[in-house]
Amino acid sequence: MGVGSFFTSKLDEALGWARKYSIFQYPFVTACCGMEYMATACSHYDIDRFGAGLPRFSPRQADVLFVVGTISHKMAPVLKRIYDQMTEPKWVVAFGVCTCTGGFYDNYATVQGIDTIIPVDIYIPGCPPRPESVIDGLMKLQDKIAGQAQRY
Amino acid sequence: MAETTRQEFMLGEGSGTGGGPQNIQLGVGPAHPAMHGIIRIVTELDGEVIVNADVEIGYLHRAFEKDCEQGGWNNAIPFTDRLNYVSPLINNFGYASAVEKLLGIDVTERCKYIRVIMSEISRISDHLTCVGASAMELGAFTVFLYMIKAREYLWELVEAVTGARLTISYGRVGGVKADLPEGFAERTLKAFKETREVLDEVHRLLTGNRIFMDRMVGVGALSREETIAYAITGPLLRAVGVGYDVRRAQPYYTYDRVEFEIPTQKDGDNYARYLVRMAEMEQSMRIVEQALAAIPDGPINVDFEGRPIDPAAYVDQGKQGKTEGLLLLPITLSPNLQGQQRADLNRVNMGDKRVVLPPKETAYGSIEGLMNHFMLIMEGYGIQPPPGEAYFPVEGANGELGFYVVSDGTDRPYRVRCRPPCLPPVAALPRMIAGEMVADLIPTFGSVNMIGGELDR
Amino acid sequence: MEILAELQRRFGDAIVETHEHHGDATAVVARDAILTVLAHCRDDVALAFDVLMDLTAVDYLRYPGREDGPRFEVVYHLYSIAHNHRLRLKVRLDEDDATVPSAVALWPIANWLEREVWDMFGVRFDGHPDPRRLLMYEEFVGHPLRKDYPITRRQPLIGPAT
């Protein structure tokens, strides 16, 4: 390993460490899962302990898109637009089984998984997921953020 | 000089609200932080005053009514959870009661009390969320944290009873899934004590708060006539002084046997709605306390011979032919995972083989029980209400929640229609916000308590 | 029940059928008379049905024994706050002429409820001021709650919002 790659890998680590604890999320809350999202965000479970306490309600200022709840065909273009408006680097969390696969809404109105529209980094199953599994998913996302090659 | 209106005061005299070319269009939502749930409001603004508004809904349409037609009568219950997902228990019971009306059957006394207790706990958590969220949108984030904390106490109760926090699928046609767990009354009273402390704090933070009142008093008001013409029920109707409440007007379950008041206000503005909701939470707690004191044990028609055994051992013994006295043995199922132990089941479910699954002991232990179980589960059999139609209203957290069910005599609902209590106020939203400032849209929308799952179904 | 008897006395043949299954007073009304009946129910002092609780429809295409009859039924649920009583009115419609007079002039809430029925069943409301879909998007083809619309018939995703 040369000196240059040593530095970049160390710099990557440092950046990854910093990034994983400064998650600015955009909660795209549509449905029932939003209730569990609220519960996770509030004092009882406190997502702030993981450096993700600040929801930004502007896609321009957010780097993790939490898609919370069923996405219908009518909503799909809106979700796509929000995703496109976010700046790199960005990650997407599919929160709840409806966003993962459509869940038990196998019908004409529901998008069968948001990965048919936008790329997804972490899937959190559950209908809705308990706050514990949300936090678990968040920690997996943090590992992913810290472990990947950083762009700067 | 004529008295200046609030709008003229804010904008200077002569500011018109005409449809002039200077008016601008402002779209709010569907992805907007204050549009919790998803809805799009296209407003036409003259300066900062809303001249006109058009509300677009349907972003959360998940084909509830179509989904219900696909499976058996009990299979629709998980879908009803996700109508008003802040108070799913009321939806469960409303739907189950509509089907029971169609079948012409009546649930056990203990079940009625359980339904009352769980409905009221749901109502409190719904109001907590509504008030908390709308206070948050006005900047009172602390209130939101407090309210969610209190909701967490109640959800722990719900979880102890149903096994889930939010989407509980606890109601069943002819009963409920499980009996109340041990020590439920004490836990409830403790949770209520903590909830009351929170409500007390919130009262002190909000009720006389100058900023809060400035944003709420006189904002988003709707006249009594218009409220009725828009078929608005629930807290919004009671906020204009009409004391209509399904629990009082057409008592169902055991609401005629508990004492409670129906809080009303006169002004019909956001502040009145806030006060009604705060008062209703206290009344709901009163109802639960009375119901917990009055709930009967119910008939337990099982005699204990031996110690409880686990289901696998039960089946094994049956296979080996050791069947003597087996049917009398209770089995060790977690009451809130299965709820099918004989003792619990008979207490909370009616004894009707056409509707209610047999207890696990019977299903495992006798051929009749097994057949009965199969007949209710197999496609093409199941619960088969006689052909006909029925409408059953219950008091949801947002108003009258009605289920109109049509049966064609088969094991599948022919049609399930939910009368969504929050659709009328959302339909009336343009009337509430017309002529007000654009910032007043937020508290008004918050006080409507729009719930996407119920609105769009 | 008195309400049904009173309606029959007043409107005669316009009341096609009545029943009271499960205690719900129900009257099937001829289409041409529905607005008159609704207006009477709302304005008559003894009836005073001031709330249009619900307005929906049922598609009887696959209902045993009714396959050949009128396909749709539009269902009105009325409630009176003053008298605390309820009434269900129904109008039967053929598929090729699925049109009902709109009740928006009587109750403003009928606006959205009728839009929903149009959206879900394709029943038209004559004189409706704003006949758009309510829940589905404009590009959607068909009416999903009709019995001949399969639940999984998906339509192409619509483009980005404009």
Chain A residues lying within 8 Å of C158, measured CB to CB: 73-74, 76-77
Touching subunits for chain C (3+ Cβ pairs under 8 A): A, B
Measure CB to CB from residue B149 to each of A42, A75, A110 and give the nearest one: A42
Measure CB to CB from residue B406 to each of C58, C108, C134 and give the nearest one: C58
Alpha helical stretches, state H, B138-250: 141-162, 184-202, 210-216, 224-229, 235-238, 246-249
Give residue C162's pLDDT. Answer: 42
Q: If you measure CA to CA, which chain C residue comes closest to A117?
A: C157
Chain A contact for C154, CB < 8 A? yes
In a domain, B225, yes or no: yes
Give residue B417's pLDDT. Answer: 92
Whether omega for the bond prior to residue B88 falls within 30 degrees of 0, making it cis, is no
Residue A149 neighbours by CB distance under 10 Å: 9
Q: Give CA angle at B451 (B448, B455), nearest 5°.
A: 100
Closest approach of chain C CAs to the CA of B352, in angstroms? 19
In a domain, C145, yes or no: no
Say whether both B257 and B198 belong to one domain: yes
In a domain, C143, yes or no: no
In a domain, C74, yes or no: yes
Measure CB to CB from residue B86 to each of A35, A78, A105 and give the nearest one: A35
Say whether both B202 and B237 belong to one domain: yes
Query: Cβ–Cβ of A39/B36 closer than 8 Å?
Result: no
Interface of C with A in 84-143 (CB under 8 A): 136-137, 140
Give residue A54's pLDDT. Answer: 79
Give residue B300's pLDDT. Answer: 34
| Total beta-carbon pairs less than 8 A apart between chain B and chain C | 96
In a domain, A12, yes or no: no
Say whether both B373 and B389 belong to one domain: no
Per-residue CA distances from B276 to A123, B220, B251, B292 (Å): 40, 15, 20, 24
- Pairing status of strand A122-124 against strand B24-28: unpaired
Give residue B119's pLDDT. Answer: 92
What's C129's DSSP letter? S
In a domain, C155, yes or no: no
Give residue A21's pLDDT. Answer: 87
In a domain, A83, yes or no: yes
Place of tokens 């049922």: C58
Based on the structure, what is the number of domains in chain B? 2
Based on the structure, what is the number of domains in chain C? 1
Instruction: Give the CATH number, domain containing residue B211.
Output: 1.10.645.10
Chain C contact for A80, CB < 8 A? yes
Taking only the tens of pLDDT, chain B with its 457 residues reads 456 566 555 555 444 555 556 778 888 878 777 667 688 888 888 888 888 888 888 888 988 988 888 888 888 899 998 888 888 999 999 999 998 888 888 888 888 888 899 999 999 999 999 999 888 888 888 898 999 989 999 999 998 888 888 888 888 888 888 778 888 889 999 999 999 999 999 999 988 888 888 888 888 888 889 899 999 999 999 999 888 999 988 898 889 888 899 999 888 889 999 999 999 999 999 999 999 888 877 543 333 344 556 666 667 777 777 766 666 666 666 554 555 566 666 666 666 777 777 777 777 777 887 888 888 888 777 788 888 899 999 998 888 999 999 998 888 899 999 999 989 999 999 988 888 888 888 889 888 888 888 888 8
Arithmetic mean of pLDDT, A88-100: 90
Query: Cβ–Cβ of C58/B409 closer than 8 Å?
Result: no
Query: Cβ–Cβ of C135/B456 closer than 8 Å?
Result: yes
Query: Cβ–Cβ of A73/C151 closer than 8 Å?
Result: no
Measure CB to CB from residue A108 to each of B63, B152, B167 and give the nearest one: B63
In a domain, B213, yes or no: yes
Query: Cβ–Cβ of C88/B391 closer than 8 Å?
Result: yes
CB under 8 Å, gap of 24 or more: what pairs does C59-62 form? Answer: C59/B415, C59/C121, C59/C145, C59/C146, C59/C147, C61/C146, C61/C147, C61/C148, C62/B408, C62/C147
Chain C contact for A15, CB < 8 A? no
In a domain, B427, yes or no: yes
d(CA B367, CA B364): 8
In a domain, A112, yes or no: yes
Chain A contact for C61, CB < 8 A? no
Say whether both B179 and B285 belong to one domain: yes
Query: Cβ–Cβ of A107/B63 closer than 8 Å?
Result: yes
Domain boundary among B377, B406, B426: B377
Closest approach of chain A CAs to the CA of C152, in angstroms? 5
Give the H or E element holding residue B9: helix B6-11
Say whether both B164 and B92 belong to one domain: yes
Task: Suggest the residue from C18, C38, C52, C53 to mutate for an interface test with chain B (most B CBs closer than 10 A).
Answer: C53
Domain boundary among B325, B352, B377: B377
Q: What percentage of chain A carries pLDDT values higher than 70?
A: 93
Say whether both B345 and B428 belong to one domain: no
> Structural domain of residue A37, as residue ranges?
24-147
Give residue B343's pLDDT. Answer: 62
**Considering Cα of B28, then B34, then B40, then B42, what sign does the dihedral take?**
negative
Closest approach of chain A CAs to the CA of C139, in angstroms? 10
Is residue B413 within 8 Å of B69, Cβ to Cβ? yes
Closest approach of chain A CAs to the CA of B28, in angstroms? 13
Chain A residues lying within 8 Å of C154, measured CB to CB: 73, 108
Chain A residues lying within 8 Å of B82, measured CB to CB: 31-32
User: Which tokens in the block code for residue C116?
Assistant: 């929903």
Contacts of B207 (CB under 8 A, 6+ apart): B275, B278
Task: Suggest the residue from C18, C21, C153 to mutate for an interface test with chain B (most B CBs closer than 10 A).
Answer: C21
Measure CB to CB from residue C24 to each of B61, B390, B409 and give the nearest one: B390
Give residue B305's pLDDT. Answer: 40
Chain A residues lying within 8 Å of C144, measured CB to CB: 108-109
Closest approach of chain B CAs to the CA of A97, in angstroms? 13
Query: Cβ–Cβ of B402/C54 closer than 8 Å?
Result: yes
Chain A contact for C147, CB < 8 A? no
> Structural domain of residue B70, as residue ranges?
64-297+385-456
Which string of b and e fits B148-182 if b means at least 16 CB within 10 Å? bbbbbbbbebbebbbbbbbbbbbbbbbbbbbbbee
d(CA B223, CA B267): 8
Helices B184-202 & B141-162, crossing angle to 10 degrees? 170
Closest approach of chain B CAs to the CA of C63, in angstroms? 6
Chain C contact for B424, CB < 8 A? yes
In a domain, A4, yes or no: no
In a domain, C140, yes or no: no
Give residue A29's pLDDT. Answer: 87
Chain B residues lying within 8 Å of A109, measured CB to CB: 61-63
In a domain, B275, yes or no: yes
- Tell me if residue B318 falls in helix, strand or coil: helix
The whole-angstrom distance between residue B124's C-alpha and the CA centroid of its chain comes to 10
Based on the structure, what is the number of domains in chain A? 1
Instruction: Give the CATH number, domain containing residue C37.
Output: 3.30.460.80
Complete DSSP assignment for B335-373: TTTT---HHHHHHHS---TTTSPPPHHHHHH-HHHHHHH
Task: Suggest the residue from A72, A73, A83, A114 to mutate for an interface test with chain B (most B CBs closer than 10 A).
Answer: A72
Domain boundary among B377, B402, B420: B377
Is pLDDT of A102 > 80? yes
> Structural domain of residue C89, as residue ranges?
2-126
In a domain, B167, yes or no: yes
Give residue B51's pLDDT. Answer: 86
In a domain, A17, yes or no: no
Say whether both B184 and B255 belong to one domain: yes
At position B172, the amino acid (one-letter code) is R
Instruction: Give the CATH number, domain containing residue A143.
Output: 3.40.50.12280
Query: Cβ–Cβ of B58/C59 closer than 8 Å?
Result: no
Say whether both B289 and B370 belong to one domain: no
Q: If you measure CA to CA, which chain B residue comes closest to A74?
A: B59
ipTM of the complex: 0.91
In a domain, B34, yes or no: no
In a domain, C37, yes or no: yes
Is pLDDT of C161 > 50? no
Query: Cβ–Cβ of B148/A82 closer than 8 Å?
Result: no
Interface of B with A in 95-134 (CB under 8 A): 129
Task: Suggest the residue from C17, C18, C19, C22 to mutate for an interface test with chain B (most B CBs closer than 10 A).
Answer: C22
- Tell me if residue B101 falls in helix, strand or coil: helix
Say whether both B229 and B363 belong to one domain: no
